[in-house]
Structure 1
Amino acid sequence: MSDAPTTPPAASPEAPQHPSSSTVTATPRGMHPLRKRALLTVTAVVLLAAIAWALYDWLVLRHEEYTDNAYVQGDVVQITPQQGGTVTAIHADETDRVQAGQALVELDGADARVALAQAEAALGQAVRQVRTLYVNNASLQAQVGLREADLAKARTQLASARQDLQRRQGLVPGGAVSAEELAHARTQVAGAQSTLDAAQAAVRAAREQLASNRALTDGTPVAEHPSVLAAAARVREAWLAVRRTVLPAPVAGYVSKRVVQLGQRVAPGAPLMSVVPLDALWVDANFKENQLGVIRIGQPVRLTADLYGGKVVFDGRVVGLGIATGAASALLPAQNATGNWIKVVQRVPVRIALDPQQLRAHPLRLGLSMEATVDVTDQDGAMLAEAAKPEPLARTPVFADAEQGAEARVREIIAHNLGTAAAAGS
């Protein structure tokens, strides 16, 4: 083995050159400036958003109560007959617009017209019977006079018979009058006394009959006699029955739920169709029980309908708060005292009135979904209604003129059956 120093092999040109530790450049250990700037920007945006949301909650949200559990409600006026009959005509169908007083259904009125004719005839007969009572007053007065004349005649005959008896009794001692003549005179006195008694009884009977007849007529004209008034009431009743063969619309609105058919025999109170006035709708918004503490009557409400979306906003007003939850008002209320129990947040309906002008511009339908936001800033209103409304909740003048014409017909019948004597007595 040679002692010559060995020469290290030459570095291959393909071998990588590794720098020594003394020649490596140091890199900073902190975050890259771009990344740091991005994180700061995001943090600032989040903080600003949080501050903005806090301000929005403080200035706006805490003064509002919102629910999407709200639905359009309204009156559903049922059309029901007041008397039975067979349907002969139908004047309105589903979705038709009708006006108040417009005829909707007609019933067969033949029976009602016959009953009216009978009532009119009965009224005329009652008037003539009452006229007879007034005429009988004069006849009975004449009978009283006749009986009094008979009484006076009987008294005269009795006095004459007594005088004859006295004369004969004075002649008996002298023998001028026989016992037979005296007995005959006594018989005449007894007969005259009986005639007098009968005449007195006849006078009393005639006077009592006159008083009884006068009790039926005194102080009352023919047209106001109870018998005439009762017959006139039956005429009005029959008149109403004829008028009620035509069923009018109590209010203006749209026809819904028509179930009546031609030729159908309907009974009183049977629902035939309904009329819905779409210009008097309201919204029942079901708020959670923990939202009711700040809701008051009179607070303004902002509403939107799924039908129109957010482009149409309805202005409403709280007019009443329900006195029971939906569960308590259900047909089968919850029985929370039995079995396992899970607490469920209850809801109470809040009635919200709508602007009629907005309803005319943007019609709604019953049952449509709504979103309601109540402005609860004003806390001066009441939570419950404090007094009943002084005026009726609803009123219709359609049936007010049902008797129109009946009174004129009654007066016509009475005047036709009145005579000169009855008119003078009345």
Structure 2
Amino acid sequence: MTTAEITKTDKLITRISAGIALLLLVALACWGVSYLYETSHAEDTNDAQVQEYINPVTSRVGGYITKIYYDENQDVKKGDTLLVIDNREYLLQQEESESALTNAKAQLNVLGSNQQTTERLAAVTRSSIEAAKARLVNKQQEYDRYKKLFDAESATRQQLENVEAALAVARSDYDAAQENYQSSLSKINDVSAQRAVLSAEIKRREALVSRSSLDLDYTVIRAPYDGKMGRRTVQEGQSIQAGQTLAFIVDKTSGKWVVANFKETQLKDMQEGDLAEVSADAYPGKKFQGKIVSISGATGSSFSLLPPDNSSGNFVKIVQRVPVRIRLTQQSSEIAPLRAGMNVNVSIAKHHD
């Protein structure tokens, strides 16, 4: 290769290198201008995640699982049966409670019949008081008459004594009739007290029947709302305890939101109601719209298990982040691709006076 050709090649390489450098410089300048424009007009953060309510499905009763009707990641509707627990023991408990309630009601009916009988006997006894009183008055009059005759020596002592004895018997019958009537009233009061006790026992038995019915209903575990099932941790035939977590379900009815952790230096112009633009790492180029619904009253570190104590010494100033809750405002079908826990980028326009 001649010297002229080498010189020509060097010049070409130099021009190409200069062109590439110029293009890189222009690209960097454009990126710098774009970055400065964006930072001057919006606050951005990539420390943000999609959130949804993820709740555990727990059992209210214990027993053996007889059937499971869902799979992991399956969509379910509110009221769909998720799993069934062996209910034979709870059926027996319900039958026992119902039998005890029926027995208590039968006893109440018998007690009511006894009360009616006792009241009728009391009425009869009260009538006998009037009769005994009439006899007593008659015997008293007869005694008074014979006493006058005896004083006038027109009757014998034996006749007076016979009349006096008859008067004593009449008075005794009258007293006995009164005592019998009071005894009947006491029996009526006793029956009324027993009736109140038995009525309370019936209410207790009814509560036990309702409780056993609830326990029986709890053996069928249903979806509490429309959602998507998560991880399943049980199998058919497994013994479970009351309160045990059986699965997790993502609530589709409560919507989705984003928790964006902005630096404390970015919060100056933010306020509730500001519009936000959300982009997900999983869907590049796709934008989601949202709105600020709340700004946390404290930094994230303040809510941690062991919040920092700057007064303990060795203080190093670190820019703190504050959680900002952003509600996604689009239709459910548009935000359906987003999943809880996904990383997203959030941009919120600044206010300019």
Q: Mapping of 1:146-161 within 5 angstroms?
A: 146-161=124-139
Q: Mapping of 1:166-205 within 5 angstroms?
A: 166-173=144-151, 177-205=155-183
**Equivalent residue, structure 2, for 1:294:** 269
1:285 equivalent in alignment to 2:270: no
CA RMSD in angstroms, aligned pairs only: 3.4
- Secondary structure of the residue that 1:269 maps to in structure 2? coil
Identity %: 30
Structure 1 counterpart of 2:263, one-letter code: K
Paired residues in the alignment total 330
2:136, 2:174 within 8 Å by CA — same for their partners in 1?
yes
Q: 1:334 to 1:173 in 2, by over 3 A?
A: closer
Q: 1:270 to 1:369 in 2, by over 3 A?
A: same
Q: 1:356 to 1:123 in 2, by over 3 A?
A: farther
In terms of fraction of residues, the more helix-rich structure is 2
Q: Tell me the distance in 2 between the aligned counterparts of 1:164 and 1:255.
A: 100
Structure 2 counterpart of 1:93, one-letter code: D
Q: 1:173 to 1:340 in 2, by over 3 A?
A: closer
Structure 1 counterpart of 2:149, one-letter code: L
1:275 equivalent in alignment to 2:245: no
* Cα offsets for 1:118-161 (capped at 9, x unmatched): 22223323333333454445423321221022112211221232
* Cα offsets for 1:259-318 (capped at 9, x unmatched): 223333322222111101357221110000111121111111111111112x21111111
Q: Tell me the distance in 2 between the aligned counterparts of 1:360 and 1:242.
A: 41
The equivalent position to 2:280 in structure 1, one of 293, 302, 305, is: 305
Q: Tell me the distance in 1 between the aligned counterparts of 2:31 and 2:74.
A: 50
Structure 2 counterpart of 1:275, one-letter code: I
Q: Mapping of 1:395-414 within 5 angstroms?
A: none
1:116 equivalent in alignment to 2:94: yes
1:162 equivalent in alignment to 2:140: yes
* Cα offsets for 1:22-44 (capped at 9, x unmatched): xxxxxxxxxxxxxxxxxxxxxxx
In terms of fraction of residues, the more strand-rich structure is 2
- Secondary structure of the residue that 1:323 maps to in structure 2? coil
Shift of 1:204: 3.2
**Equivalent residue, structure 2, for 1:419:** none
1:75 equivalent in alignment to 2:49: no
Q: Mapping of 1:17-36 within 5 angstroms?
A: none
Shift of 1:82: 1.6
Q: Tell me the distance in 2 between the aligned counterparts of 1:134 and 1:158.
A: 36
Q: Which runs of 5+ in 1 are unaligned?
A: 1-44, 219-224, 380-426
**Equivalent residue, structure 2, for 1:24:** none
Structure 2 counterpart of 1:266, one-letter code: I
- Secondary structure of the residue that 1:118 maps to in structure 2? helix
**Equivalent residue, structure 2, for 1:406:** none
**Equivalent residue, structure 1, for 2:218:** 244
Q: Which has the higher contact order (CA 8 A, sep 6+)?
A: 2
Structure 1 counterpart of 2:269, one-letter code: V
**Equivalent residue, structure 2, for 1:9:** none
The equivalent position to 1:366 in structure 2, one of 334, 337, 340, is: 340
Q: 1:356 to 1:102 in 2, by over 3 A?
A: farther
1:278, 1:364 within 8 Å by CA — same for their partners in 2?
no
The equivalent position to 2:106 in structure 1, one of 125, 128, 144, is: 128
Q: Tell me the distance in 2 between the aligned counterparts of 1:305 and 1:155.
A: 103
2:288, 2:335 within 8 Å by CA — same for their partners in 1?
no
Q: Tell me the distance in 1 between the aligned counterparts of 2:211 and 2:113.
A: 30
- Secondary structure of the residue that 1:315 maps to in structure 2? strand
Q: 1:106 to 1:48 in 2, by over 3 A?
A: closer
Give the number of the structure whose alpha-carbon radius of gyration is greater: 1
Q: 1:98 to 1:48 in 2, by over 3 A?
A: closer
Structure 2 counterpart of 1:296, one-letter code: Q
1:67, 1:287 within 8 Å by CA — same for their partners in 2?
yes
Q: Which runs of 5+ in 2 are unaligned?
A: 1-22
Q: Which moved more, 1:50-59 or 1:91-100?
A: 50-59
Shift of 1:378: 7.8
The equivalent position to 1:100 in structure 2, one of 59, 63, 78, is: 78
Q: Tell me the distance in 1 between the aligned counterparts of 2:133 and 2:162.
A: 19
After TM superposition, the score normalised by the length of structure 1 is: 0.68
Q: Tell me the distance in 2 between the aligned counterparts of 1:264 and 1:47.
A: 67
1:257, 1:273 within 8 Å by CA — same for their partners in 2?
yes
Q: Tell me the distance in 2 between the aligned counterparts of 1:266 and 1:170.
A: 98
Q: Tell me the distance in 2 between the aligned counterparts of 1:177 and 1:214.
A: 54
Structure 1 counterpart of 2:75, one-letter code: R
Q: Tell me the distance in 2 between the aligned counterparts of 1:108 and 1:127.
A: 31
Q: Which moved more, 1:368-377 or 1:168-177?
A: 168-177
Q: Which moved more, 1:165-174 or 1:369-378?
A: 165-174
Q: 1:378 to 1:157 in 2, by over 3 A?
A: farther
